[in-house]
Amino acid sequence: MIAQDRDIRFIEAITDADGAHKARELFSRTFGYEPSGVWAAPGRVNLIGEHTDYNAGLCLPIALPHRTFIALAPRRDTRVRTVSAVRQDSVAEAELEGLNAGGVAGWAAYPAGVAWAMREHGMAVRGFDAAFVSCVPLGSGLSSSAAMTCSTALALDDVYGLGFGSTDEGRVTLISMAVASENDMAGASTGGLDQNASMRCRAGKALLLDCRPGLSALENVSQQDFDLAAYGLELLVVDTCAPHQLNDGQYAARRKTCEEAAAELGVRNLRQAADQIADASRGDADRKREGLDRVLAALSDPTEIKRVRHVITEIWRVEDFAEAFGSGDIRTAGSLFNASHDSLRYDYEVTAPELDTAVEVARSNGAYGARMTGGGFGGSIIALVDKGQSRQLAEKIAEAFSAKGFRQPQALTSVASRAAERVA
C-alpha cells in the first residue's frame, strides 16, 4: 500500500524521430494521404517572472524537451481538418472563409485560429489538414496550448512559403499570430511568455524576455546560460494534476487590476513603476524597499496593493535570479524561487492547495528552492535539486498528495531545450 502511494509517473520526452513517425502515421491513417512534413514545438517552464509579461515586465522561461508534433499538408480550399492522438477517431473541422473571432469551438480553435489570424494579417494562407501528437501534459501549466499554436504557425509559414520562421525577427511575427489565436479564437488570455519560449528558446539557455512594448526582436531577449549539469543540479517539474483553467476569469481579473493600478499611479504599466523605483534607489536595497512602500501607499485598495507588490518585486526577482544563477550562487537562486512562490501565494493569490503542498514538501526535503510555474490556479511546480534527487522528491510529493486526498501527480525532469523547428 505504502509503496503504491509513493508511485509517481515520470513523463519521458518523445524523440523527434518517434514524434515525427507517430504524427505522420496518424495523419495518413486519418486523411488517406501523406503530409508535407512534420514540425515540433516545445512546452515551457518559466523559471521565474510570473504574471509579469502583461505588465511589460521580465520573465525567464526555458523550453522543455517535451514537444508537440504536427504533421500537416496545405489544402487548395479554405477548410481546416485536425485530429489529435488524444482522440484519434474524431476529426474537428472548421472553415476559414467568413470565420470570425470566437467562431471555432473546442480544441480545434487553437490551430484553426492561427490560420485565421495569419489571414487577418494579410498572409497568403489557405486551409490545411493536420495531425497532432504530443507529450506535453495538457492543462498542466506547461504551455501545451502554445506548443500547439506555435507548431501550427511554423508549419503554415513553411508550407505556404512565407519565410517568417527562419529568422528570430520573423518568429516574433508568428508569435503574435499564435497569441491572437489563443486570445481571440480560443478565448484564453495569454500574455506572450509561452509563445516566445516555444519559438525562441535555445538548448542550454534560459530566455530572459523583456516584455516592454515597442522593443525590437534584438532588444527584447537575451540568452542566459542555464546549464544545470555544470552545477550538479536537476530541475524537477511536478504536474499537480489539479484542475487548471486560465479562461475562467481569474487571469483576466488579475490583468484588469494591474492596469487599473498603473492608471492610478500615473504610469504606463507596472514595469515603469518598478524601473522608476529601482533607478531612484541606485542599488541601495533599503531605499528600494522604501520606494516600493511609497508607491504602495499611493494606492487605496488593499487588493491592488497586494497585486502591485507582487508584480514589482517579481520583476526585480527575475534580474536577481539571472545574476545569482549566472554566478553560481545556487542558494540565492533557490531562495528567489521560494520568495516568488510566496508572493504568488499571498499577494497574487493564484496558487492552489496542491501547489502549496508540493512546494512545501520540496522545501523541507532538500530542494534549493521551489515554486509554482505558469499561470497558477492548478498546474505545475518546479524545484531546483541536487542531481539524482528528483525521483525521491517526486515520490515524497506523491505521498503527501495521497495523504491529503489530492489526485496523483505526475512528474518530469527538464533541461533547457530547443525552440520550435521542422523535424521531418
Q: Are 92 and 109 in contact (CB under 8 A)?
A: no
CA dihedral 25, 412, 152, 55 (to 10 degrees): 170
- Collapsing DSSP states into helix, strand and coil, what is residue 263? helix
Cell of residue 27, nine digits: 495523419
CA gap 127, 159 in Å, rounded: 11
Q: Are 268 and 308 in contact (CB under 8 A)?
A: no
> From residue 103, how far is each of 112, 175, 189 by CA, in Å?
10, 21, 16
Q: Are 80 and 112 in contact (CB under 8 A)?
A: yes
Q: Are 380 and 141 in contact (CB under 8 A)?
A: yes
In this chain, which of 43, 374, 378, 409 binds ligand GLA, going by CB under 6 A? 374
Q: Position 268: which residue type?
A: R
Of 149 and 413, nearer to ligand GLA (C-beta) is: 149
Q: Quote the least distance from Cβ 176 to ligand GLA, whole Å.
A: 13
Question: How many C-beta atoms lie closer than 10 Å to residue 212's C-beta?
Answer: 16
Q: Which stretch binds ligand GLA (CB under 6 A): 44-52, 108-116, 131-139, 407-415?
A: 44-52
CA gap 359, 400 in Å, rounded: 11
Q: Does 375 bind ligand GLA (CB under 6 A)?
A: yes
CA gap 55, 323 in Å, rounded: 22
Q: Quote the least distance from Cβ 209 to ligand GLA, whole Å.
A: 10
Q: Which stretch binds ligand GLA (CB under 6 A): 26-34, 189-197, 213-221, 289-297?
A: 189-197
Q: Which stretch binds ligand GLA (CB under 6 A): 67-75, 131-139, 184-192, 271-279?
A: 184-192
The secondary structure of 278-340 as a DSSP string is: HHHHTT-HHHHHHHHHHHHHT---HHHHHHHHHHHHHHHHHHHHHHHHHTT-HHHHHHHHHHH
Q: Which stretch binds ligand GLA (CB under 6 A): 9-17, 70-78, 185-193, 285-293?
A: 185-193
Of 230 and 252, nearer to ligand GLA (C-beta) is: 252
Q: Which of residues 47-66 bind ligand GLA (CB under 6 A)?
A: 50-51, 53-54
Active site annotation includes 356: no
CA gap 225, 326 in Å, rounded: 7
The number of residues that bind ligand GLA (CB under 6 A) is 13
Q: Quote the least distance from Cβ 139 to ligand GLA, whole Å.
A: 11
Of 49 and 74, nearer to ligand GLA (C-beta) is: 49
Q: Quote the least distance from Cβ 373 to ligand GLA, whole Å.
A: 8
Nearest one of 264, 61, 25 to 143, comparing CA atoms: 61
**Helix H or strand E encompassing 341:** helix 330-346
Of 85 and 138, nearer to ligand GLA (C-beta) is: 138
Q: Quote the least distance from Cβ 74 to ligand GLA, whole Å.
A: 28
Catalytic residue among 53, 129, 194, 239: 194
Of 53 and 304, nearer to ligand GLA (C-beta) is: 53
Q: What is the CA radius of gyration of the chain?
A: 21
Of 74 and 111, nearer to ligand GLA (C-beta) is: 111
Q: Which of residues 383-402 bind ligand GLA (CB under 6 A)?
A: none
* Residue labelled with grid coordinates 481571440: 184
Q: Quote the least distance from Cβ 378 to ligand GLA, whole Å.
A: 12
Of 244 and 396, nearer to ligand GLA (C-beta) is: 244
Q: Which of residues 233-252 bind ligand GLA (CB under 6 A)?
A: 246
CA gap 148, 39 in Å, rounded: 10
Q: Quote the least distance from Cβ 318 to ligand GLA, whole Å.
A: 11
* x/- letters, 68..107, toward ligand GLA (CB under 6 A): ----------------------------------------
Phi and psi at 206, nearest 5°, equal -100, 145
Q: Quote the least distance from Cβ 51 to ligand GLA, whole Å.
A: 5
Q: Which stretch binds ligand GLA (CB under 6 A): 3-11, 46-54, 149-157, 323-331?
A: 46-54
Of 53 and 158, nearer to ligand GLA (C-beta) is: 53
Q: Which of residues 12-31 bind ligand GLA (CB under 6 A)?
A: none
Q: Which of residues 190-219 bind ligand GLA (CB under 6 A)?
A: 190-194
Residue 239, judged by CB atoms within 10 A of its CB (0-12, 13-18, 19+), counts as buried
Residues that bind ligand GLA (CB under 6 A): 46, 50-51, 53-54, 190-194, 246, 374-375
Task: Please give the positions annotated as active site.
Answer: 194
